[in-house]
Amino acid sequence: MTEHGQEAGGGFARVDGAGQWGPGASEETGPFALALQPVRAAGAARILFCEALLRQRGPDGHMAVPPALLSGSTSPAACAVWDCAVLERAFAHLRANPLARLSVNVEPTTLEHGLWRQTCARLGDGPWSRLIVELTERRLPLDPASLKPALDALHSRGAALAIDDFGAGRTALRHLIDWPVDMVKFDCRLCTVAARDAARRAVLGGLVRMAGQLDLLTVAEGVEDADCAGCLTALGVDGLQGFHIGAPALSDPAAPAALRRTG
């Protein structure tokens, strides 16, 4: 899931000269929270991990994707601020919950930003082995070599790497070969209608078999009903994610429980 954009308003700090904004220092006491959406093992009740998503309380009291993340025009500097904010919250959750495992979405440009390197250094020898970094396929650089040093550094800390929305854009086959990838998450546009679309089932089946030969964990996104879950399980997918499995829930039990369904 990718949620980056720009917005100016209260509770934000300016991060570059182009008027881009991100969660400011006062955000810790502001209307932001971490929401976790479970990824369940296919055909079982076991939770493999949860995806960590940043949410903001809206005027109606519901928690939703911050408007700043939806416009699609965020600068790399602002993306880095958002990504680092989620990373720090994810680490706090992992430290407080020793059995938890989380994934976080990160823009490829963030991995080369100084703020990301500073944040990783400050987090030190934390629970990296229980962290999964997701990179969205359609935003990957054309040349895999450009990000390999940053990804190798993450892998050396113990973090796992996932390609998110796999099958949505140019299929990142070179990236699977050249990068230390551990997981692929299949795009919801392939998965949601798989039970009633033979062509999508065929494509997914081929991708699942390829991933198995590469020893990659596979997760299907956009699982909205039991038929979809059953179809994807039969195709051999390892994990399922979607509102049929579980909606994002706030990690802070003191925060409002109602979450708006937003992607």
For residue 235, give the CATH number of its domain.
Answer: 3.20.20.450
Residue 197 placed within a domain: yes
Q: Torsion over CA of 254, 93, 250 and 48, rounded to 10 degrees?
A: -140
Residue 259 placed within a domain: no
Confidence of residue 170 (pLDDT cuts 50, 70, 90): low
Checking if the pLDDT of 252 tops 80, the result is no
Half-sphere CA count of 259, side-chain side, radius 13 A: 25
Q: What is the mean pLDDT of residues 113-133?
A: 95
Q: What is the mean pLDDT of residues 115-124?
A: 95
Higher pLDDT among residues 226 and 24, named by residue? 226
- Both tokens of residue 22? 């991100």
Q: What is the mean pLDDT of residues 154-161?
A: 96
> How long, in residues, is the chain?
263
Sequence-ordered list of residues with C-beta below 8 angstroms from that of 180, at least 6 positions apart, any chain: 151, 152, 155, 161
Instruction: Count how many domains the chain has.
Output: 1
Confidence of residue 38 (pLDDT cuts 50, 70, 90): very high
Q: How confident is the model at residue 243, as a pLDDT?
A: 95
Q: What is the mean pLDDT of residues 68-80?
A: 74
What phi and psi, each to the nearest 5 degrees, are found at residue 41? Answer: -65, 135
Q: How confident is the model at residue 171, as a pLDDT?
A: 56
Residue 52 placed within a domain: yes
Range of the domain at 112: 12-250
Q: DSSP assignment of 93-154, as one string?
A: HHHH-TT--EEEE--GGGGGSHHHHHHHHHH-S-SGGGEEEEEEGGGS-SSGGGTHHHHHHH
Residue 58 placed within a domain: yes
Residue 159 placed within a domain: yes
Distance from C-alpha of 60 to C-alpha of 255, rounded to nearest angstrom: 14
Residue 62 placed within a domain: yes
Q: How confident is the model at residue 71, as a pLDDT?
A: 59
